[in-house]
Amino acid sequence: MTNRDNESVFDYVIVGAGTAGCVLANRLSEDSANRVCLIEAGLKDRHPFIHVPALVAAALATPSLGWGYWTVPQGNLNGRKIPIPRGRVLGGTSSINGMVYMRGNPRDYDDWAAAGNRGWSYPEVLPYFVRSENNEAFEGSPYHGKGGPLNVSNIKRINPLNTSFLGAMQSLQFRRREDFNGADNEGYGPRQATIKGGYRESGVTSFLKPAMKRPNLEVVTGALVTRVVVENRRATGVEFQRGGETRRVAARREVIVSGGSIGSPQILMLSGIGDGAALRNFGIPVSHNLPGVGANLHDHIASSVQMVTSNSTSYGISLKALPRGIWNIFEYLLLRKGPFASFVFESNAFLKTTNGLDRPDAQVVFQPARRNQSTFPLPLGHGFCLSTVLLYPKSRGRIALSSPDPHAAPIIDPNILSVPEDFEPLVRGLKLARRVFATAAFARYKATEFLPGPAVEGDDALKDYLRSTAATVYHPAGSCRMGADDDAVVTPELKVRGIDGLRVADASIFPTLMGGNPNAPVVMVAEKAADMILGRAPLAPLQLPRDR
């Protein structure tokens, strides 16, 4: 269908085929009466690194699969620039991420609701997590779903070093947690992955591919959206560049921006929605003065204690491990089993690093492989490490335009560790990692501490170590914050303030990060957004027991 200007006309136009965009394309096109267009800057997800779970580091390091984003120099990290990998491919970052299925702590969503975001409490979002999920484990659990599009599984054969990690945590008298997505997430244990039959489960494989055969869904790849078209304070369509040409599609009902925490604020600003003074400086006509666009940027921050050993139990490339490695390759090619069917980081813990907290403030992630930055992504040699992730950073930064050219990367400044309190859980986590590696469970590996190194002792020295090594774990969020206040970018219905017919649905709307990996919450946001867009009643809240 076209209008008189030869524009393609759709009911809904979705900008960005990442996790949220794929979910929305599926749900909005379920009704054959809805004509839906999904626009993605990247190409199809054909690269082999995407689909083999253990090649996640290689996928992250492949330039053709990402945007190549870096932060500006971070003053609290000794002036270092930090990479911010984001997927530029069908499936977006779900095609290159770590495949971890985590929802965060139930109290995180209660906090959203308490801040004025009606409809976003844990009992109200839980049914959307359940609806999207096909969990191969936890049969009969009311916290989990069966038959949903997104497959979630246990790793059937984890590296033996994980047994040592779990044993060490037990010896230190931490709590064992079988399900990090149930009544609470405090404790240690193996974690679940979005993997199906030995392959990565992305937004494409779970949501988009089943919908692509529908005649009312059109997917456009290799198309860079340059702006949302706004007329009389209403979003009426989208302009994009493809094959050297600028094209336009019209939206009769809504435009939904799902470009992620970097892309969504950039697209809004290019469309004249943002801080008016800054936009005028770039010669961009102001559609709506909304200074909150790009603000509230934050991310999970991490640093690690790294060990090296001559023992070849860990994942890694060495002459000693060569026969096993060759067998593992054939095992995967023939059976889709073994280490190549795993996401490498197979166990972790959520812990309270100090007394008096109502939920864990740190995620401790065990890696049964040496972190060899000089050979990344090839894991040469052997070792293991424990990374401490700061779950609730107080530091806030911003996304800003660097140019009115939509091809130019925006300015990314998460302002990492700008609030002094953010150091404390990380320092406590580094100390805990040393305690873990000093237990009897790790004695047989005869490992030595490579980083920070035994000479680095005391809080001040560990803070210096953090300044030289800390980085994000690629969970940027909050840059189009949802809220009931006038400074928020979107309402609790995800509508962009001041512009009709325009919503944002992705991690950029998070008021605050949850205490865990954000991919599953983004799926939930998109599921909930689809019901809002279609005018459906929300799913009935699930009031389930919680740990106290």
Here the tokens at position 125 are 């979002």
- For the domain bounded by 7-71+83-154+193-297+476-536, which CATH number is listed? 3.50.50.60
3-class DSSP state for residue 80? Answer: strand
3-class DSSP state for residue 326? Answer: helix
pLDDT lower than 70: segments of the chain? 1-7, 372-376, 548
Helix and strand totals (H; E) in the chain: 14, 24
**Topology match between the domains 7-71+83-154+193-297+476-536 and 158-191+301-390+418-469:** no
**Inter-axis angle of helices 459-469 and 423-437, to 10 degrees?**
100
Contact at 8 Å (CB) between 524 and 188? no
Q: What's the CA gap between 408 and 399, in Å, rounded?
A: 13
**Inter-axis angle of helices 161-171 and 423-437, to 10 degrees?**
110
Q: Which of 173, 287, 251, 336 is nearest to 8 (CA)?
A: 251
Beta-strand (E) ranges in 285-361?
A: 288-289, 301-308, 347-351
Contact at 8 Å (CB) between 191 and 46? no
Query: Can you give the pLDDT at residue 545?
Result: 83
Say which residues have a Cβ less than 8 Å from residue 28's Cβ, sequence separation at least 6: 11, 12, 14, 34, 36, 530, 533, 534
On the 0-12 / 13-18 / 19+ scale of CB atoms within 10 A, 272 is buried
Contact at 8 Å (CB) between 284 and 368? no
Query: Can you give the pLDDT at residue 548?
Result: 60
Query: Can you give the pLDDT at residue 31?
Result: 97
Here the tokens at position 90 are 């069908």
Q: What's the CA gap between 225 and 248, in Å, rounded?
A: 9
Question: How far, in whole angstroms, is CA 344 from its chain's centroid?
Answer: 17
Q: What's the CA gap between 314 and 163, in Å, rounded?
A: 12
Q: What's the CA gap between 373 and 377, in Å, rounded?
A: 8
Domain boundaries, the chain: 7-71+83-154+193-297+476-536, 158-191+301-390+418-469
DSSP 483: -
Q: What's the CA gap between 74 and 81, in Å, rounded?
A: 6
How far are the Cα atoms of 65, 90, 209 from residue 17, in angstroms, in the given order? Answer: 13, 6, 12
Q: What's the CA gap between 155 and 343, in Å, rounded?
A: 8
- For the domain bounded by 158-191+301-390+418-469, which CATH number is listed? 3.30.410.40
- For the annotated catalytic residues, the residue numbers are 475
3-class DSSP state for residue 132? Answer: helix
